[in-house]
Structure 1
Amino acid sequence: MMLQQGNHQVQFKPRLVDSVALPEPQPPNLLILDGQQRLTTLFMVLLSGQPVVIKDQKSQKLIKKWYYLDIEKCLDPNSDRREAILALPETKKLQTSNGVIDISMPCREYLIGLFPLSKVFFFSEWRSKYSKFWGYNSEKLKLLDTLELEVLKKFEHYQMPVIQLRESLPKEAVCQVFEDTNTSGCDLNFFDLMTASYCADNFSLRDDWKRRETRLKSLKVLRSLRNTDFIQAISLVASYARRQKALLANVNCEKLPAISCRRMEALKVSPEEYQTWADPVMRGFEEAARFLHSQKIFDAIDIAYPIQLVALTAILTLLGKQSESEQIRSRLRHWLWSGMFGEVYTRGHEVRAAHDVLEVPFWLLGGLPPTTISSADFSVYRLLGVRKRYGAVYQGLSALLRLQGAIDWSTGEEINDVLYFEQRVESHHIFPVAWCRKQGIEPKYYNCLVNRTPLSASTNKKIGSKPPSLYLKQFESEGIFPTKLNDMLRSHAIDPTMLRRDDFEGFFAARARALMSLIGNAMGKPLNVEPFEASAREYKNGNGNGFHQSISINQ
């Protein structure tokens, strides 16, 4: 895919294809947008006349190779032609199990029968020297005729599809065309286009990002941060600043600049705006990491919505020192958990981020609550319906349990401490699957989050398939006092009484209510748990009244 040059409003700084050397490079008529690696490889192997620079897979060092065709092998109909390609070091000497291949002199190529791929488009010259070396032997000439017909002509006549974009296309359209036509799944993202565009102003966006990336990714919760995330945060802040400037200038409300981090808006971020906001946004990401750590979200895999991290960063950047007050942090917590458990970032996430950047700072400083909070809701049926070990609800609930100090039952350590030393903590069953099956309990109940909690692998191994009454006695026999063990269970929002008598129905109802209360407090709003209240009031001592059979879960 090529892009015509000539539009002075959309300037990119070009660079030569690797291995191309020109005494006086001229402004190009076309830029390569897609296919650069393939074109570079083809040029280096077939046209450069130089050894090809590659990275060794084992040592990761740069080495140089020459590529040759074994003439007889590539013409053998019973052989795989790919196996006829030889890669020789720069010296053109290769040690093999059958001895040394030495073609450091052209005559050795003729003698061994290896054709250099660097001569594909200069075949007549090579053929002349080869024929002279063999005294114009008819068999050798016939072999070359076959090579030319079956192999080399295919290089000369290969039809390569080319898409040529007109110079009048805006940058966002270039992105869109690329994505619509590229079938390999590789996106030409706006960071790539901005990098080329900024180079025209003698600013290396890629180099600047590399310096920042190392520092940001040293924080575990930011280790999956992408260059596009960083640009989106800058786009939100820069567009917010444009809007504020327009408000001060009394611009009509209908004409106020939009706050956005979508591709079209991100591409409008000028080099000057980037350089103005890059440092503050970087501090914003670091402050976001600190805030998430306070919410016991330690790792990038614990972030349900990366775009919410971008919005959080933009909000913290705009608030600056104001974000350090306890009142604002408390409100930010409600916003964070409302966005996560309300799953409001599932669709239209970039639009939601823009709304939050506009509404949250206003709310934090005394205005109306943002729509992320006012519209967020969480149903008890959602809690019962989640059975997978990923997603916003699972990630959020795991963090909330860590936040309230969930303790590992075997070691007596807080789950947070177990994670700090990078030991495995996963969502494990409280009532083991094997026991639940024997009791006739349905999978949709024993596999849902109500019957799961974060525990270390060693603790889960001790639980095995034993009922709670037995594995709790085992923990006590190892030296844990019953009152201490009860406290550990409560740290996971579990009623110890129900667990000690293997009462699944009572446990299920009590823990569902406890988890709903935990989530509601995090979101800053009461949540409805009516489906459990009637059953809880009627519940009596013993094995229950079939409560688990009366729950209706939306599938």
Structure 2
Amino acid sequence: MKIADILSQIDLNTVALPEFQRGYVWNRDQVRGLMRSLYHRYPVGSLLTWKTRGDTTATRGGAASTLGAISLLLDGQQRMTSLYGVMRGKPPRFFDGNVKAFTGLYFNLDTEEFEFYAPQKMQNNPLWLNVTELFTDASKLGSLGRVLFGGMPDKADNYFERIMRLKNIGDIDVHIEEIVGEDKTVETVVDIFNKVNSGGTKLSSGDLALAKVCAEWPQAREEMQQALREWSAIGFHFKLDWLMRVINAVVTGEAYYAALSHVTPAQFQQGLADAKKAINRLLNLVNSSLGLDSDQVLGSRYSFPVMARYIHQRGKDFNSHTERQKLLYWYIHTFLWGRYAGSTESVLARDLNLISDSEGALDRLIADLRRNRGDLKVRPEDFEGSTRGARFYPMLYMLSRVEHARDWESGVELRNALLGSLSKLQVHHVFPQAQLKRAGIDRQLINAIANFTFLTQETNLLISDDLPEQYLPTFAAKHPGAIESHWIPMTPELWSVDQYRAFLAKRRELLAGAANTFLNSLIGGTLSTATEEPQDTLPAVSTALGDEESKVLEEVNAWVMAQGLPEGVLRHELVDAEGELLATLDVAWLNGLQEGLSQPVALLLAEPDLTLAAANQAGYLYFTDAAQFRSYVERDVLAGNQAAEA
């Protein structure tokens, strides 16, 4: 079938994308490579479609065939989506990805190269032709002819032949293999898809579960994405697979997706509504009771399916203030000890089984944690981790919020010091990094958790690179008790660089003591917190930590996605077979920047040598500088000439 006819079939909704397909993942260079191959009439491969009735299978974007039959793209969606985007100037109805990957493609009439728009190079240069305009603007060909024959008649014939060669891409025939037959179920076709797509990423059990749901409730994906957007807007960035797990736990009480096969569309729809309410209540609870107000400090996301199931079973209200605090106690320990860092599904299944009978459920969860750990006591060495990715980093932030740590300059409690552009909380190095580097201190020790605390941006700027022996006495005199509220050793001899290691050891002792006191008050039901029930509406917008490292990571991730590449995973935990933490990667692409085509990649900022070694051992190509990482992406990923499907 000719490419132009395939695009017309997409317009008519007789060619569409099944819900179980992943979204659009190609980048600009892959789009460029495809157009170059078609321009030179190189083979670009065949398509694989599944021909079925339009009323029996859900399609991405809710498309429904007006002719009673529909061909679902199983192999070729990246190519056809790219061609539709370039030749129509807009994404197809089933699009789910980054439109910048195919927006602004230009063709050079002289060199016959395809490049994306660069103003300095292309503006007011008639040799650079907007490819999309050639296909979408009927008057473009005539205006081009006048420019060429009027301004450069000696080359006009060659240029015009190249324009027509480009415009006639729509007449190229593409072979289509079809799967037909009433006996072909979603499961059968997904199995075929995985075999055909052996070079790419396989569909997971979650993808198949979502396909089954969407086959009967086509709006499911968009409804779930809307919920994710709402949480993202307040500072909590969750994934679709995570929400599926919460819904599954709420509706079925099971961890494995197979349980959803017997759930009706109405039950799933109600389950989504119930899961949203439960998640909102939990976010409000951990915010108001623990001070965990953004996903930068939200640990153990996979504790949420268990907690959501528990509060869903209990109905609107907890039975008591003590019960609520027990749940929080269990939750904190799940992120301190990496409860779900290993085999997530099997551990979830175990914990969901422990709460199948709500009577005594929390006691059973806590007892199981104790059996695994031996005890749940926090020790000074637990705070020996370094960087913001360490598991005890959220604990430090939480203690600062719930124990009423005060800002050193203003004297105001940190949880109340959030108004004004300079009042966002920032990570503060008690001993400045620059001073420690000059003293030859090891990088891992410089970024030790025990060297971190949280202050407003205004105070952080005021301190600058002063040593604690210079600034701590001033703040101690100005606001008595403010320094101590951060568990800073009040022995002045420990405030000098030559006593840095002794300072860290003493502060770890103080932090461990504060952590145990707080946790014991939770499990004992003696903690004084607000008694009102957490709401099941969205919590307030996150105050968000304003630290420089997080800003760099978010900017790099946004830049990567703007190139049409996949989003990285922030604070990814590398664990061994037993779930023990080996390292935390600042931002990682677990399947590479081009899935199936490149190795895992990570950006690691100011990380210790042990983290770098763990990343290397796990097969990651890693970078320790954001500029170096961007250069790698531009040089080795975007500048490649990959035209094969991802």
TM-score (norm 1): 0.64
254, 268, 275: which one aligns with 2:269: 275
Aligned counterparts, 1:362-377, within 5 A: 362-364=359-361, 369-376=366-373, 377=376
1:303 counterpart residue number? 298
Match of residue 332 from structure 1? 327
For the Cα contact (< 8 Å) 2:84–2:91, is it kept in 1? no
Q: Secondary structure at the match of 1:491?
A: helix
Report matched runs for 1:213-224 at 5 Å. 213=228, 215-218=230-233, 220-221=234-235, 223-224=236-237
Q: Where does residue 510 of structure 1 map in the other structure?
A: 506
Alignment partner for residue 138 of structure 2, among 92, 108, 118?
92
1:335-386 per-position Cα deviation (integer Å, ceiling 9, x unaligned): 0111011122211123223333332544356657342354245664753541
The 3 A distance-change label for structure 1 pair 190 and 176 is farther
Change (3 A) 1:419 1:520: same
Equivalent residue for 2:74? 33
Query: Measured at CA, do residues 372 and 208 of structure 1 come closer, stay the same or move farther in structure 2, by a change above 3 Å?
Result: same
Deviation at 1:175, TM superposition (A): 7.5
**1:449 aligned onto 2:490:** no
The structure-2 alpha-carbon separation of the partners of 1:500 and 1:165, relative to structure 1 and needing over 3 Å to count, comes to farther
SS of the residue corresponding to residue 369 of structure 1 reads: helix
Q: Does residue 216 of structure 2 align to residue 201 of structure 1? A: yes
The alignment status of 1:470 with 2:494, answered yes or no, reads no
CA distance in 1, matches of 2:291, 2:195: 37
The amino acid across from 1:295 in the alignment is: L
Letter in 1 for 2:57: F
Aligned residue number for residue 250 of structure 1: none
Distance 1:102 1:207, change over 3 A: farther
- C-alpha separation between the residues in 2 aligned to 1:518 and 1:399? 11
Contact 1:359–1:369 (8 Å) recurs in 2: no
CA drift of 1:224 comes to 1.0
The answer on whether the counterparts of 1:401 and 1:492 sit within 8 Å (CA) in structure 2 is yes
> 2: distance between equivalents of 1:52 and 1:237?
42
Deviation at 1:61, TM superposition (A): 11
Distance 1:426 1:173, change over 3 A: farther
- CA offsets, 1:18-52, max 9 Å, x none? 8xx97x52434x53235324224446878xxxx55
- Aligned partner letter, 2:268: Y
**Which residue number corresponds to residue 164 of structure 2?**
115
Q: What are the residue-to-residue correspondences of 1:175-324 with 2, within 5 Å? A: 178=194, 181=197, 188=203, 193=208, 196-201=211-216, 203-210=218-225, 212-213=227-228, 215-218=230-233, 220-221=234-235, 223-240=236-253, 259-260=254-255, 262-266=256-260, 269-293=263-287, 294-323=289-318
Partners of 1:66 and 1:366 in 2: how far apart?
59
RMSD across aligned positions (CA): 5.0
Instruction: Give the one of 113, 117, 136 matched to 1:80.
Output: 113
> 2:453·2:486 contact (CA, 8 Å) conserved in 1?
yes
**Shift in alpha-carbon separation, 1:489–1:395, aligned structure 2, 3 A:** same
Q: How far off its partner does 1:418 sit?
A: 3.9
Give the Cα–Cα distance (whole angstroms) in 1 for the partners of residues 195 and 462 of structure 2.
Answer: 51
**1:341 touches 1:378 (CA, 8 Å); kept in 2?**
no
Contact (CA 8 Å) 1:93, 1:102: kept in 2 or not? no
Aligned residues: 444
Please state how far the C-alpha of 1:11 moved relative to its aligned partner. 5.5
Question: Which of 468, 491, 494 is equivalent to 1:497?
Answer: 491
SS of 2:386's partner is coil
CA–CA distance in 1 between the matches of 2:180 and 2:393? 45
1:149 corresponding residue in structure 2: none
Determine helix, strand or coil for the equivalent of 1:407: coil
Residues 181/203 of structure 1: CA separation in 2 closer, same or farther (3 Å cut): closer
The letter of the residue matching 2:190 is V
Question: For 2:106 and 2:284, how far apart are their aligned partners in 1?
Answer: 56
Tell me which moved more, 500-509 or 350-359: 500-509
State the Cα distance separating 1:296 from its structure 2 match: 0.4
1:285 maps to a residue whose letter is I
| Counterpart residue type for residue 131 of structure 2 | L
Q: Which has the higher helix share?
A: 1
Call closer, same or farther: CA 1:80–1:416 in 2, change over 3 Å.
same
Q: How far is the alpha carbon of 1:525 from its aligned partner?
A: 10
Q: 1:263 to 1:34 in 2, by over 3 A?
A: farther
- By relative contact order (CA 8 Å, sep 6+), the higher-ranking structure is 2
Counterpart mapping for 1:146-161 below 5 A = 155-156=172-173
How far apart in 1 are the matches of 2:425 and 2:193? 44
Cα distance, 1:466 vs structure 2: 3.0
The Cα shift of 1:297 comes to: 0.6
State the TM-score, normalized to the length of structure 2.
Answer: 0.56
Q: 1:2 to 1:331 in 2, by over 3 A?
A: farther
1:54 & 1:284 partners in 2: Cα distance? 35
Q: Does the 8 A contact of 2:405 with 2:485 survive in 1?
A: yes
What do the CA deviations read for 1:180-224 (whole angstroms, capped 9, x no partner)? Answer: 946566x75666655554454355213433554455445x25x31
Query: Displacement of 1:328 after TM fit?
Result: 0.8
Aligned 8 A contact 1:234 1:277 in 2: yes
Unaligned runs of 5+ in 2: 1-46, 93-97, 116-127, 150-155, 523-609, 614-646
Matches for 1:401-550 after TM superposition, within 5 Å: 401-419=400-418, 423-436=423-436, 443-475=443-475, 481=478, 484-485=479-480, 487-498=481-492, 502=496, 504=500, 507-524=503-520
- Counterpart of 1:224 in structure 2: which amino acid? H
On the 8 A contact 1:95/1:101 being kept in 2, the answer is no
Counterparts in 2 of 1:470 and 1:367: CA distance versus 1, 3 Å: closer
SS in 2 for 1:32: strand
Q: Deviations over 1:287-346 (max 9, x none)?
A: 111111121010122222322233322322222234262111110121011101112221
Q: How does 1:106-145 map to 2 (within 5 A)?
A: 113=161, 114-115=163-164, 119-120=168-169, 122=171
Q: Report the Cα distance in structure 2 between the residues aligned to 1:41 and 1:443, rounded to whole angstroms.
A: 45
- Specify every segment of 5 or more residues in structure 1 that has no aligned partner in the other structure, as ranges: 123-154, 241-258, 527-552
Counterpart of 1:174 in structure 2 is 190
Change (3 A) 1:351 1:16: closer
Query: What does residue 13 of structure 1 align with?
Result: 58
CA contact (8 A) 1:362 1:368 kept: no
- The secondary structure found in structure 2 opposite 1:301 is coil
Identity, in percent, stands at: 18
